[in-house]
Amino acid sequence: MKATGPPATPNVLDLDHELAGHAEHLQYRWDNYVNFRREIEQNEGGLAQFASAYQVNGLIPKPDGGATFREWMPWAQEAQLIGDFNGWDGNATPLTKGDFGVWECDLPPGTIEHGSRYKVRIKAPHGGWVDRLSAWTRYAVAEARMDATYDGIFWNPPANERHVWAHQRPAAPATFAPVIYEAHVGMATEESRVGTYREFADTVVPRIAAGGYNTVQLMAVMEHAYYASFGYHVTIPFGVCSRQGNPEDLKYLVDACHAHGLVVIMDVVHSHVSSNEVDGIAGMEMGQGDAASTYYHMGERGYHKLWDSKLYNYGTYEVRRYLLSNLRYWLEEFNFDGFRFDGVTSMLYHHHGIHRSFSGDFNEYFGTDTDVDACVYLMLANELIRSSIPATSTSLSIAEDVSGMPTLCRPVRDGGVGFDYRLAMGLPDVFINLLENVPDEHWSMQNLVATLCNRRFAMEKTIAYVESHDQSIVGDKTVLMWLLGPEIYTGMSALGEPTAVVRRGMSLHMMMRLMTFFFGGEGYLTFMGNEFGHPEWVDFPREGNEWSHDMCRRQWSLADMDHLRYTHLQAFDRAMLKLEKIFHVLEAGNHFVVSMVDDERKLIVVERGPLVAVFNFHPSESIDELTVGVGRPGKYWPALDADDWKFGGEGRVAWFERFTIPEPYPMEVGDRPCTMVVNSPCRSAVVYFNVDDWPDCEFAPAIEEQKVHTVVELADSTDGAIGTVM
């Protein structure tokens, strides 16, 4: 059978006719991708082989007890390997320059032991000698943990100290919608210190699984010398962050996530690298003109002025090899299931998105401002992720992009960049602006719906969220801090009646999350602790706060104390996510109907999958008999009630209320064929489910027998035995 190659023209041009005016640009991008794929097929034998350089570069143990060392340093005049094993200055091991500027040596058995420290000593073009970390360093440590000089560690533990994998990656279901728990291991302890991978695995992972999340996104895994960078000023791309443990500890954590059925992705930072030359890969650039250029662009193009960091040259053969090998390393050595790519907007454009406001005009995305080399690299990266993880397992690739570039989340085979999802980065900004500047009695329901629906429905998928780590960083406030002000500390006791401020804040905190989850995207995300309204922003230890950890931790116990209202918010978050487990809300994709948007009465009614959600944002006016439109006749029960007592509400929707729809009649309410009459409490939301969509379950009798209010409460009382809606 004759093999078929990639199509001559990217399929996205046929799939999305809005792109027709930019066919030349998309064709140019596609041709660049296809040509490079052919080049590595001819030179390397394929993408996987091209991305396997981590197996032979750096300090690699050999089966006989020796080791090899290889480093690409085309600008070096001389090079040596130094460390504990040869007395550092006393007996340096010389490196020999081979083809393509690669320096190497072979260490006989018994020369170097597990845990030995090492560096590369290099004679630079200017004639001076410098000591540097290998770009391929797997593990490095520093004496002073927050801001210090690192040494590479030869990681080759004996068999009894190596992690033995016990659990498979989560199997790929027919459909999968990520419900993501964004987490930072170091700040995940209640104590004022850096937490560890093993502590996180044993104490936090079970909480995540119990909360209803199906995906863990781990931040700050790649080594970074400056802790306060939140892990985004990476110094050693292949290095496991040593503050939190060693490589075996990280494997233990990933394995623990898989044991709970959780998909695990990591924040990968390929958009830039720390300018710290002493502690990281930035030191592998001598800056002696183009001849000395290795990983980065030279001059202004190689420097991000807002981040004070270096920028990779994505168009070069060896940089692509290095970065793709980095991805394969994390996927294969640590069994990660994918990545959240940081700073994608900076990668996509020569202007890096600095001082740019994207309007949605396609000319902003496809033109001379676009870095086609970076686009091609990301296409290769996403193709590698798909091919590295078995089709029977779940893989995931997410872009942190604020620009909204079309085709970013279309498959590579169609000519897209290949991400599965993009983050809806504009949503938190809209919510914060409302909380800061607009009293909620003046919120526009039309604008809220427009914001939540502002995405390319049919073509690309979005992860929606109210707040991530970005909204928690010092200098900003979490959503609950905006809502409650000082009462986040003084008003959260559940032993008495809540103040008006607390009642409003609790209600809006839940409603904003529910509407964002319900129809804001095809996936959902929260940053750890925000699900229960953690009462502090995030401030890492730094000179400005006298290196304090007091605001770089999570007080889990607050959510576990029945006498505090934080437990109500946690209970609501778990109940909300149970809607996905039972009803597959997010898996319904973009199939939803907004049937009512009433600015005067502050009402929004949305149908998604088998559910109908009624939101009443009015601060004071409840509606006892609200007629809303729905898609089908049948008997409707509450599935989730944000006003439930157990969520700190007032219980204004009686558990015994049943809603039966009369015979269908068209075009009466919101262009829907049927209607039902419901009780809509002010500043609250109720989600309803049509019993007829669950034909195999004695649903109504179970509700009456259990004397429970909602479907999610029934699921709790029967330990999930009611099953799921198919």
For every residue of 190-218, DSSP letters joined together read: SSSS---HHHIIIIIHHHHHHTT--EEEE
CB count within 10 Å of CB 102 equals: 17
Q: Is residue 499 part of a domain?
A: no
For residue 591, the model assigns a pLDDT of 79
Q: Is residue 236 part of a domain?
A: no
According to DSSP, the residues that pair with 626 across neighbouring strands are: 678
Q: Is 400 a catalytic residue?
A: yes
Catalytic residue among 199, 342, 536, 539: 342
Q: Report the CATH number that the domain containing residue 596 is assigned in CATH.
A: 2.60.40.1180
Q: Is residue 150 part of a domain?
A: yes
Measured CA to CA, the distance from residue 27 to residue 211 in angstroms comes to 45
Q: Is residue 16 part of a domain?
A: no
Last residue of some domain: 126, 161, 196? 161
Query: Could you tell me if residue 666 is left (phi over 0), alpha (psi between -120 and 50 degrees) or otherwise beta?
Result: beta
Last residue of some domain: 139, 161, 183? 161
Q: Report the CATH number that the domain containing residue 85 is assigned in CATH.
A: 2.60.40.10
For residue 174, the model assigns a pLDDT of 87
For residue 5, the model assigns a pLDDT of 75
Cα 409 to Cα 317, 450, 460, 575: the distances in Å are: 25, 21, 5, 30
Last residue of some domain: 161, 179, 214? 161
Measured CA to CA, the distance from residue 20 to residue 12 in angstroms comes to 9
Contact partners, residue 498, CB within 8 Å, separation at least 6 = 491, 506, 565, 648
With the CA atoms of 240, 241, 243 and 246 taken in that order, what torsion angle do they form, in degrees rounded to the nearest 10? -10
Range of 653's domain?
A: 592-717
Measured CA to CA, the distance from residue 502 to residue 487 in angstroms comes to 7
Name the stretches of the chain with pLDDT < 70. 1-4, 144-148, 286-293, 458, 474-475, 590, 654-669, 694-711, 713-726
CB count within 10 Å of CB 275 equals: 17
Measured CA to CA, the distance from residue 108 to residue 68 in angstroms comes to 9
CB count within 10 Å of CB 446 equals: 12
Contact partners, residue 112, CB within 8 Å, separation at least 6 = 59, 66, 67, 83, 85, 118, 154
Contact partners, residue 542, CB within 8 Å, separation at least 6 = 146, 227, 228
Domains in the chain, number: 2
Q: Is residue 608 part of a domain?
A: yes
- Of 287, 327, 556, 523, which Cα lies nearest the Cα of 421? 523
Measured CA to CA, the distance from residue 57 to residue 54 in angstroms comes to 5
Q: State pLDDT tens for residues 305-323.
A: 999 999 999 999 999 999 9
For residue 229, the model assigns a pLDDT of 92
- Of 217, 247, 12, which Cα lies nearest the Cα of 152? 247
Q: Is 573 a catalytic residue?
A: no
- The greatest distance separating any two alpha carbons of the chain, rounded to the nearest whole angstrom, comes to 91
Q: Is residue 705 part of a domain?
A: yes
CB count within 10 Å of CB 117 equals: 16
For residue 1, the model assigns a pLDDT of 42
For residue 360, the model assigns a pLDDT of 87
Q: Is residue 251 part of a domain?
A: no
Measured CA to CA, the distance from residue 179 to residue 578 in angstroms comes to 11
For residue 700, the model assigns a pLDDT of 52
Q: Is residue 634 part of a domain?
A: yes
Q: State pLDDT tens for residues 231-289.
A: 999 999 999 999 999 999 999 999 999 999 999 999 999 999 999 999 999 988 865 55
Catalytic residue among 16, 400, 420, 460: 400
Contact assessment for residue 221 and residue 266, using Cβ atoms and an 8 Å cutoff = yes
Sheet containing strand 273-274, edge to edge, reads 273-274, 309-310, 303-304
- Of 106, 39, 96, which Cα lies nearest the Cα of 73? 96
Measured CA to CA, the distance from residue 510 to residue 475 in angstroms comes to 24
